[in-house]
Amino acid sequence: MATTLDVETERDEFERLVDGVTLAGDDREGIEVVASFTGEPLATIPAGTAEDVTEAVERAREAGKRWADRPVAERAAVFEGLAELILDRQAGMLDVIQAETGKARLDAFEEVIDVAGTARYYAAEGPGMLAPAKRRGAIPLATRVEERHHPVGVVGIISPWNYPLALTVSDAIPALLAGNGVVLKPDEHTSFTALKARELLIEAGLPEDLFQIVTGEGVEVGPPLIDSVDYLTFTGSTETGRAIAEQCGRNLIDCSLELGGKNPMLVLDDADLGKAVRGAVVGSFNNAGQLCLAAERIYVHESLREEFTERFVAATESLTLGTGTDWGIDVGSLISAEHLGRVEDHVDDAVEKGATVLTGGQARPEVGPYVYEPTILTDVTDEIALCTEETFGPVTAIYGVESEAEAIERANDTDYGLNASVYTEDSERGREVAARIEAGTVNVNDAYVASYGSVDAPMGGFKDSGVGRRHGREGLLKYTEAQTIAEQRTGPNAPPGPVPNEWYAKGMTALMRLLNRSPF
């Protein structure tokens, strides 16, 4: 029997978190947060205003000036501490994540590991990335050039509800390490996870004013936040991302946007079906499919399609649904009644237009108010919305293909390009196929963890799946202003007074020809 969360205990904890950090006063209206496990109210968050945003940005900016003056090794030490602290305090963090999102405990644990890994990586590698670096000068030996990186100022983060810890803290870590202040606007469904995470950051040694949180509705808090900060990071829908990019463009600030996906999985004719079925289960149903990287289109070579389908359906039907803290639960709840309705509409529309449900396809209110069965469909044609639009739930569709070329063509026939996976026993073939898929991350014989968990490599989307990258060098340096300092040791690069311009041009031409022949 699954262990349930004590809603009353969690409510007390959430009210304490709000009292400790919010900028909004008692006269602010409240927004009710609901427990996805039960549909019951948990607590309320303040409905932030533009004035709250202004105050938060001012605090973060002032704190950021002092923070940027600290040696980068001292800043990195905070995140070394966080990497251990988040593991030590994981039980309480998992409870908060689950109470707000309704996800399975193992899915919540995935967020804890993500933050610990990101903190450890940037604490170790970030100082070297931020260190001044020599660059090749215009004239060898005569020109000395150095590249430096300065913080942009204040970074705004607008984070989603599906990974409320990972997609707040893991994005904030490089921004903070680079010397910036951060103002976070978390999703209204999951603000308490962000508040709990802020406490851990402060306990790890982060200055209290450096990381501000303003809760509230996106339409109220988002626009003034974008108007106030120096860089904006957003994870969410493509539609909202376009509006944010437009506002950032008007303000001449840079942004990083991870947006929607309709991710393909390719099962080639030489795939190991055991690996492919496990990958399909993980890729389709982790976090109840509420994952931008989820596999929603599975293209299987016709020679394997029947056996793959049988094994995938059997594996899916063996999954345990539940709403509680038991580690044995495989698939938890969707986030809300509204989101459940969208998933139901997608599946119902597909069935009405001729799709076949192989397993699942129903809500399970006896398990939890927003629980939906892991669902596999076939016979999904191009005119069905589920074929091309992101469902963002525990729903995937199987399509047969006759060749590798057809699989690649159909995988790329989408406006999105976030994640993909390829299953084959030929490593070289897998990597070559992966390189032909138009997606920011492509995994061979894995669903998404291989790429996303490799924090040293960039992660982001092609096409309508976004701009910018998180992780790796790109994920840190995007939060900086690059500066070039060039010293000319022989004086200005211009004709010396007594030398005619023509002679100077001839001399520079000879020098350039010499440099063109140089191996350096």
149 near 481, Cβ under 8 Å?
A: yes
Closest C-alpha among 182, 423, 176, 214 to residue 312 = 423
Rounded Cα distance between 114 and 103, Å, is 16
Phi, psi of 519 (to 5 degrees): -75, -5
User: Which residue is catalytic, options 10, 248, 255, 292?
Assistant: 292
Q: Quick one: tokens of 52?
A: 């709250």
The active-site residue out of 13, 111, 258, 373 is 258
Separation between Cα atoms, residue 294 and residue 297, nearest integer Å? 9
Angstrom CA distances, 330 to 177, 273, 316, 389, 441, stand at 35, 21, 10, 25, 25
The residue among 255, 188, 156 whose CA lies nearest residue 32 is 188
Is 258 one of the catalytic residues? yes
**202 contacts 67 by C-beta, under 8 angstroms:** no
Phi, psi angle pair for 493, to nearest 5°: -80, 85
How many CB atoms are closer than 10 A to CB 503? Answer: 12
- What is the distance between the alpha carbons of residues 332 and 37, in angstroms, rounded to a whole number? 8
The question of whether 387 is a catalytic residue gets the answer no
* DSSP result, 26-65: TTS-EEEEE-TTT--EEEEEE---HHHHHHHHHHHHHHHH
From the list 424, 385, 438, the residue with the least C-alpha distance to 300 is: 424
| Contact indicator for 340, 333 with CB cutoff of 8 Å | no
> What CA–CA distance (Å, rounded) separates 408 from 406?
5
DSSP assignment letter at 325: S
C-alpha span between 332 and 371 (Å, rounded): 7
CA distance 393 to 384: 16
Continuous H helices in 353-500: 385-388, 404-412, 427-435, 449-452, 472-477
Other CB atoms within 10 A of residue 127 CB: 16
3-class DSSP state of 127 = helix
| Catalytic residue set | 258, 292
